[in-house]
């Protein structure tokens, strides 16, 4: 056993070494492939955004970024996997507002705000309320009147266990429309039924619906963004449609496991913000109906703190309780 003075000296040396190791690792970061966990199905709006981001972010970080799709459990499977990863910056999480909606709706076995370090917000987007062109309606008022005149005949598909379901339920409450909310595992699953006439209403994002709207296969009645979309300038906002409480957006961003060195968080944040400022990235996002959201890790943390009570309130209003 070492003498006490030697033991103290050894511990002091270890402390110094540990202090040197973290900045050194941050300075050399990244020097190998980075994995971005995406807890969404391939082809979903968030997956599309994640792939667009990595395409432009990888050259700025100087390393390949691989997408690891881990859908399931309302994003909890992939989120928990990322939370348990080594906090070294080589496993990151691309997550949406689901990280605060999930606890509000059904509870989680972890606290996302404690188990992750916010890195950077990436984008915001809105929901649309679209109807089948077969319905004889062109405005929100006409749609609500139609549902009341034909009770039990209008079905509204929404993705179960997600913010989209909360939006659909709250829309039904606030508009007074007589319709049935039908849960689906995802928007892609509901689309064939919509196109086949079995579902009459959806609340998709512009990124997945613009081509169908342009082809006349969907008729948009409302968008939940604060202002009208440049891609859909004739579609009124929720406020214009008389439903101001449905002025809601979903967002996505990148997080790292808690304990990731601040220097690494800052490095990734700067690279993401640089990516979002590039004209080619902005143009590509606009075509998909996404708006860039640039900020610091501290801005991201504050944003999450502000959004949490909003979605908790909506979940309570529609009667969703954490399990």
pLDDT of residue 321: 57
Q: Is the separation of the CB atoms in 130 and 220 below 8 Å?
A: yes
Tokens 């996302």, located at residue: 112
Stretch among 93-97, 159-163, 271-275 having the lowest mean pLDDT: 159-163
The tens digit of pLDDT for each residue in 174-187 reads: 999 999 999 988 77
266 plus 283 within the same structural domain? yes
103 plus 143 within the same structural domain? no
Q: pLDDT band for 108, please (50, 70, 90 cuts).
A: low
**Domain extent for 192:** 128-246
236 plus 159 within the same structural domain? yes
Q: Is the separation of the CB atoms in 112 and 78 below 8 Å?
A: no
Tokens 């890790």, located at residue: 297
236 plus 149 within the same structural domain? yes
Contacts of 274 (CB under 8 A, 6+ apart): 60
Please indicate whether residue 187 or residue 290 has the higher confidence score (pLDDT). Answer: 290
87 plus 183 within the same structural domain? no
Domain boundary among 211, 228, 246: 246
Q: pLDDT band for 24, please (50, 70, 90 cuts).
A: low
In a domain? residue 21: no
Q: pLDDT band for 17, please (50, 70, 90 cuts).
A: very low
In a domain? residue 196: yes
pLDDT of residue 107: 65
Contacts of 42 (CB under 8 A, 6+ apart): 69
Tell me the C-alpha distance between 157 and 199, whole Å. 7
Q: What is the CATH number of the domain that holds 308?
A: 3.40.190.150
Please tell me whether the overall predicted TM-score, pTM, comes out greater than 0.85 for this model: no
190 plus 295 within the same structural domain? no
pLDDT of residue 109: 61
Q: Which residue, among 228, 221, 264, has the nearest Cα to 61 in the 3D structure?
A: 264
In a domain? residue 220: yes
Total structural domains within the chain: 2
160: exposed, middle or buried (C-beta count within 10 Å: 0-12, 13-18, 19+)?
middle
Domain boundary among 217, 246, 275: 246
In a domain? residue 234: yes
In a domain? residue 13: no
Tokens 């009667």, located at residue: 319
Please give the average per-residue pLDDT across 85-90, as a whole number. 98
Alpha helices in 107-261 (DSSP H): 112-115, 140-149, 163-175, 187-195, 206-214
Q: Which residue, among 40, 109, 48, 43, has the nearest Cα to 75 in the 3D structure?
A: 40
Tell me the C-alpha distance between 270 and 93, whole Å. 16
Contacts of 121 (CB under 8 A, 6+ apart): 251, 252, 253, 293, 294, 295, 299, 300, 303
84 plus 167 within the same structural domain? no
Other residues' Cβ atoms within 10 Å of the Cβ of residue 78:
21
Q: Is the separation of the CB atoms in 297 and 127 below 8 Å?
A: no
Q: What is the CATH number of the domain that holds 174?
A: 3.40.190.10
pLDDT of residue 9: 44
In a domain? residue 257: yes
> Does the pLDDT at position 7 exceed 50?
no
Contacts of 282 (CB under 8 A, 6+ apart): 276, 292
Q: pLDDT band for 76, please (50, 70, 90 cuts).
A: confident
Please give the average per-residue pLDDT across 218-235, as a whole number. 95
46: exposed, middle or buried (C-beta count within 10 Å: 0-12, 13-18, 19+)?
buried
253 plus 146 within the same structural domain? no
Long-range CB contacts for residues 65-69, cutoff 8 Å, separation at least 24 = 65/33, 65/34, 65/35, 65/36, 66/33, 66/34, 66/35, 66/36, 67/36, 67/38, 68/35, 68/36, 68/37, 68/38, 69/38, 69/39, 69/40, 69/41, 69/42
Q: How far is CA 211 from CA 30, 135, 219, in A?
A: 38, 19, 12
In a domain? residue 291: yes
Return the beta strands (E) in 6-137 as ranges: 34-38, 65-69, 91-96, 116-126, 128-131
Domain boundary among 246, 262, 278: 246
Q: pLDDT band for 286, please (50, 70, 90 cuts).
A: confident
147 plus 211 within the same structural domain? yes
CA dihedral sign of residues 121, 190, 112, 21: negative
Stretch among 10-19, 131-140, 247-256 having the lowest mean pLDDT: 10-19
pLDDT of residue 57: 98
The tens digit of pLDDT for each residue in 26-47 reads: 779 999 999 999 998 888 888 9
> Does the pLDDT at position 21 exceed 60?
no
φ and ψ at residue 39, rounded to 5 degrees: -80, 45
In a domain? residue 6: no
> Does the pLDDT at position 212 exceed 60?
yes
- Find the helix or strand (DSSP H, E) in which 303 lies: helix 297-317
Tell me the C-alpha distance between 287 and 277, whole Å. 16
The tens digit of pLDDT for each residue in 119-167 reads: 999 999 899 999 999 999 999 999 999 999 999 999 999 988 788 899 9
pLDDT of residue 151: 95
């Amino acid at each position: 056993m070492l003498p006490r003075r030697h033991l103290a000296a050894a511990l002091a040396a270890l402390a110094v070494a540990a202090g040197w190791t973290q900045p050194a690792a941050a300075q050399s970061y990244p020097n190998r492939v980075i994995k971005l966990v995406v807890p969404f199905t391939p082809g979903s709006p968030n997956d599309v955004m994640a792939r667009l981001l990595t395409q432009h972010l990888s050259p700025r970080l100087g390393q390949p970024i691989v997408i690891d799709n881990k859908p399931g459990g309302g994003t909890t499977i992939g989120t928990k996997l990322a939370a348990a990863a080594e906090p070294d910056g080589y496993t990151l999480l691309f997550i949406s507002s689901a990280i605060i909606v999930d606890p509000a709706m059904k509870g989680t076995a972890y606290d996302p705000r404690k188990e992750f370090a916010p890195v950077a917000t990436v984008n915001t987007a809105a929901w649309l309320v679209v109807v089948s062109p077969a319905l004889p309606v062109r405005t929100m008022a006409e749609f609500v009147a139609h549902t009341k005149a034909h009770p039990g005949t209008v079905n509204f598909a929404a993705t179960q266990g997600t913010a989209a379901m909360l939006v659909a339920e709250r829309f039904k409450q606030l508009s007074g429309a007589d319709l049935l909310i039908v849960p689906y595992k995802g928007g892609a699953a509901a689309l064939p039924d919509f196109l086949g006439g079995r579902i009459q209403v959806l609340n998709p994002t512009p990124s997945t619906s613009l081509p169908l709207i342009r082809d006349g296969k969907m008729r948009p009645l409302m968008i939940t963004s604060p202002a009208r979309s440049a891609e859909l300038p004739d579609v009124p906002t929720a406020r214009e449609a008389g439903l101001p409480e449905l002025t809601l957006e979903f967002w996505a961003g990148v997080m790292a496991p808690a304990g990731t060195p601040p220097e690494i968080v800052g490095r990734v944040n700067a690279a993401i913000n640089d990516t979002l400022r590039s004209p080619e990235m902005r143009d590509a996002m606009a075509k998909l109906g996404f708006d860039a959201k640039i900020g610091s890790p501290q801005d991201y943390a504050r944003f999450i703190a502000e959004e949490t009570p909003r979605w908790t309130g909506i979940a309570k209003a529609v009667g969703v309780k954490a399990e």
